[in-house]
Structure 1
Amino acid sequence: MSNAAQNARAVFTGVDSSGAVPVEYRFSHAKNGNRHLVVVFANLTAPGEYGWSNGVLNNLRSNILWIRDLFDGENSYYLCKGMDFSLERSIAGLISRVMNALSLTPDDVTMFGSSKGGSAALYFGLKYGFRNIVGSVPQFLIGTYVREDMPGAARMMMGQVTDENVRVLDAVLPELVRSGANRSANIYLVTSPQDEQYQRQVEPFLGLFQGHENFNLVFNDSPLITNHGKVTLRNLPAIMGVLNLLVDGITPRFGLVRNGYEQPERDTSAIDAYLTETSQVRDESFPRPVVVTPAADERVPANAVRFTGSAPGAVRVSFWEDGKHQGTAPVAADGSWAWERANPWGKGRHVVRLFAADANNYQTERTEVIFTALEPEPESAAVAGYAPAPLPVPAPAPRIVLSVTAPAAHQQVPGPGVGFAGYAPGAARVDFQEGGVSLGTCEVRADGAWVWEPGWAWNEGDHFVEAIAVDAVGNASPWVAVPFTLVNAYHVPTQGGYLNQRY
């Protein structure tokens, strides 16, 4: 099991709807009352569109606020929808409310991200006056980049993808730097000439930082860097070292500094109230789903288990057992829903937990259903005492089959990176987890093939990753185990031990 699974920190999820655009976030309290906040912006292909959220920051002592970059199903660089920058202002408002709830100031906050998250860290850090900025391999010409490489994001951000809108977005970050905004910020920019985006997206803009009092360029010219994603990976020790120093109130420069910033007994009622107010899980205002069948402790043939019920105000109901996703059911306009698993349930007692979610991804409290699956009955046999549900029985869901071709089971894989590949015909995506911790997801191509490259360094030793394929309507394959052993990895020493190097 990875260190992330063993040392996972408690994380709260929420949706801040105070601004014009609802913003989803995750938050984790500081260790030992540390008086600092790190705001994390998502990189490209970040799991769940939350950057650096798979354990790499577990040893960071500060409060951590992860902000999701998913609006209308697309990335936004945290800037705009249809050239309406109220999205940016909503995100700035979220950061401000969390900061104020912690009784912190902008001097106690670090903006952090890589790739598009690095662009966001620079933008929000400079524009809103935050003291520390750590950005790895950012894009400066945002409009050009999304038009050429992220067409879905381009349409969402611009509405109409025109040369004028591209020009406006291209100017957002360079003009902000050129204006001299927040010259006293401590800026740490990570880049490499081996990054395929360096010559066009980074190098022409480095001169704009002249005059900034503490601009630091971490320039890695290693031949081991072969693409955009490898720059952050190879600079991970330096990045984590800088973050830990900033959290402790130390900026890497000569001069007198203050260390510590810890108040273990500090009153957390303000931030607790904010987390409760904006929690993604709604208790009273959004009732949990009602289950009609199966009845509590009902005994049902394993191939005749059908869930039905109601969830007014929701758009979908999600089903889980032992922390594993089993399926999703759409909710009709009248609030009714029905769901059957594609495969028969295993014989014995089952405890299924389900919740409903609305269009803004607010969730209900969990409903628990306990039933016992009996020996499957022949298809033509009637089940004594088992009344069919009042809703029509849907056609059997298509069977989703997931196969993993790499790494092979129990293979010894040279580290630090590990790539996964396989087939899942008919599926839309493949999700991954280890030790109950979500690792990420990847899309399935039209021919059924999929490839997932996490982009982080794994710890040496044994790993037990699980994968599941899901189609466009929520039908899922059985979970597939991917056990492997990582060799020749490296570790980053930190004050609290060894860091799991995933980003």
Structure 2
Amino acid sequence: MKKRCIGLYFKMISRTFKSSTSVQYALKTRRSHDTLVIVFSAFSRVGLPATYNYMATTKEVAADRLFILDDFGYNKQGGYYLFHKGTRAPETVVTELIESIIAQKKYRKVICVGTSKGGYAALYYGLKLKANAVIAGAPQYFLGDYLTDIPEKEPTHKGMVGEKEAYSVSYLNRLLRDKVLEEPKFPINFYIHYSCNEHTYREHIADLIQDLKTSGYPLTLDEQRYYKHQEVAYYFPPFLKRTLKKIIEE
């Protein structure tokens, strides 16, 4: 029943953008604002459909808000907004959606937001589309390693790269890192939330932070002390609210 209600709710608030494939999104606008906040979602809990994240957290933000649904990949649970069964079709349609929204209004600032999977996507699209700022909580960095570290993730991995594995583990690991390190660089401000006590820090975030510093990007860190990756959902929202307020008012 809960799964069905969630599905109906998101169907009611969603629009469809069609290109080579289609993507669901929700656009919340406010009158006379020149900032666009783009929110990418983490994986939903097991058994629940893909959802939008941080709608309630950002409802008072003085900006237009674009929420994009990642219902690609295995069981429509998500393909990092990049992959679907061995193709990069999601990246194409998501890029075109964002560019079309930005083209409708002369935004002074574009901010990409997300945690975990959504944090990876916020980093990727923030770099690709030259956003003004990225606010990411406990993001993955080496995508190939993350998707292949335990057998339980195999369906998600195959749902992204296909049964014939069109994209190798090393390719997936380089995907975001190459964007962080490539030249020339756009002056994006990065705000990274993490806990040094949970595994994502050791496996991903420490290297991400080092690479952002090496590339000379402006970097603000929010270090916490929780132990479980899932706890980012509780610790990230206050940081997100503070940081959005700061960026928008600058």
Q: Which ranges in structure 1 are unaligned for 5 or more consecutive residues?
A: 1-10, 251-503
Larger helix proportion of the pair = 2
- Partners of 1:137 and 1:232 within 8 A in 2: no
- Partners of 1:51 and 1:113 within 8 A in 2: no
- Report how far residue 135 of structure 1 moved: 0.6
- Partners of 1:144 and 1:170 within 8 A in 2: yes
Q: What letter matches 1:218 in structure 2?
A: D
- Report how far residue 180 of structure 1 moved: 4.3
Determine helix, strand or coil for the equivalent of 1:124.
helix
Structure 1 residues 110, 75: CA separation in 2 closer, same or farther (over 3 Å shift)? same
- Partners of 1:185 and 1:212 within 8 A in 2: no
Cα distance per residue 1:71-115 (max 9 Å; x no partner)? 2523100111234223202101101111111232xx521000000
Q: What letter matches 2:153 in structure 1?
A: M
- 1:229 & 1:181 partners in 2: Cα distance? 35
> What is the TM-score normalised by the length of structure 2?
0.84
- 1:238 & 1:133 partners in 2: Cα distance? 13
Deviating beyond 6 angstroms after TM superposition, the runs of 4 or more aligned structure 1 residues are: none
Structure 1 residues 232, 183: CA separation in 2 closer, same or farther (over 3 Å shift)? farther
Counterpart position of 2:39: 40
Alignment of 1:253-332 (within 5 A): none
- Partners of 2:119 and 2:136 within 8 A in 1: yes
Q: What letter matches 2:115 in structure 1?
A: S
- Partners of 1:127 and 1:182 within 8 A in 2: no
Structure 1 residues 174, 144: CA separation in 2 closer, same or farther (over 3 Å shift)? same
- Report how far residue 227 of structure 1 moved: 0.5
Q: What letter matches 2:188 in structure 1?
A: A
Determine helix, strand or coil for the equivalent of 1:126.
helix
Q: What letter matches 1:216 in structure 2?
A: T
Identity among equivalent pairs (%): 21
- 2:106 & 2:49 partners in 1: Cα distance? 29
Further displaced range: 46-55 or 80-89: 46-55
- Work out which of the two has the higher radius of gyration on C-alpha atoms and give 1 or 2: 1
- Report how far residue 54 of structure 1 moved: 4.9
Q: Which ranges in structure 2 are unaligned for 5 or more consecutive residues?
A: 1-11
Determine helix, strand or coil for the equivalent of 2:199.
coil
Structure 1 residues 188, 33: CA separation in 2 closer, same or farther (over 3 Å shift)? same
- Report how far residue 64 of structure 1 moved: 0.7
Counterpart position of 1:170: 173
Counterpart position of 1:134: 135
Counterpart position of 2:218: 214
- Report how far residue 232 of structure 1 moved: 4.6
**Residue 87 (structure 1) aligned with residue 90 (structure 2):** yes
When the two chains are superposed, the root-mean-square deviation of aligned CA atoms in Å is: 2.2
Determine helix, strand or coil for the equivalent of 1:49.
coil
Counterpart position of 1:420: none
- 1:83 & 1:241 partners in 2: Cα distance? 39
Larger strand proportion of the pair = 1
Further displaced range: 160-169 or 89-98: 160-169
Counterpart position of 2:17: 16
- Report how far residue 128 of structure 1 moved: 1.5
Counterpart position of 1:114: 115
- Report how far residue 44 of structure 1 moved: 2.1
